[in-house]
Amino acid sequence: MWAVASFAGLRRGEIEGLEWSDYHDGALHVARSVWNGRVGVPKTAKSCAAVPVICPLAERLEMHRLRCGNPTTGPMFANSIGGRLNINNLLNRTMLPLFKKAAIEWQGWDSCRRGLGSNLYRLGVNDKTIQQILRHSNVNITLGYYVKTASPDVVAAMAKLEEKISAQSSLDTKWTPQPDSGAMPEFVN
């Protein structure tokens, strides 16, 4: 869930609403949002869009899919009985204790979206493209008007981010099992 928030910029309700059928053609297709256990539409009509998936996220999603028994339907992040995993329960039971132990201050799920936008901007991606990736509809949010279609600029921007992350992959490999290593994490989320 954290990787989807950080590498794709999805909102927490959109993450909780993801289904395996929403992940195709190299993108996460945002179609629903979950708030307080209720499935509904995303925040704005323009939020219903495809977000390109870069390789570091694709690898994590495929490993997650394998750990879950290789499903093709149903919630992407499921609880033990197959329903949607409650993101607040995950946060309170698992993430916050880990952050506290590591002396990291929780900044909220939106910090992932801000981080993605800031990192793309630092890499020289233009404001309009960042707005497309984050799927904002308001000029006050990301400096321009949101365009729903994923242009080649969006795909190129995510490739640029992927390249930067891959260049620093030596830091990640000691914590993330590689798909061909045979290593399996002890728990799903």
Q: What is the pTM of this model?
A: 0.72
Nearest to 59 by CA among 157, 186, 173: 173
Residue of higher predicted confidence among 129 and 64: 64
Q: What is the pLDDT of residue 144?
A: 34
Q: Tell me the one-letter amino acid at 57.
A: L
> With 80 as the cut, is the pLDDT of residue 136 above it?
no
| Higher-scoring residue by pLDDT: 146, 26 | 26
CA distance 19 to 65: 11
**Token pair of 71, please?**
């499903």
Query: What pLDDT, in 10s, does the model give residues 139-187?
Result: 456 653 222 234 567 778 888 888 888 877 655 555 555 555 554 444 4
DSSP 37: T
pLDDT at 145: 29
- Write down the mean pLDDT value for the chain: 82
Q: What superfamily does domain 2-173 belong to in CATH? A: Intergrase catalytic core (1.10.443.10)
Which residues face 51 on adjacent strands?
A: 28
CA geometry: angle 150, 154, 160, nearest 5 deg: 155
Q: What is the mean pLDDT of residues 35-54?
A: 89
CA atoms within 13 A on the CB side of 82: 5
pLDDT of 63 reads 96
* 3-state SS assignment for residue 27: strand
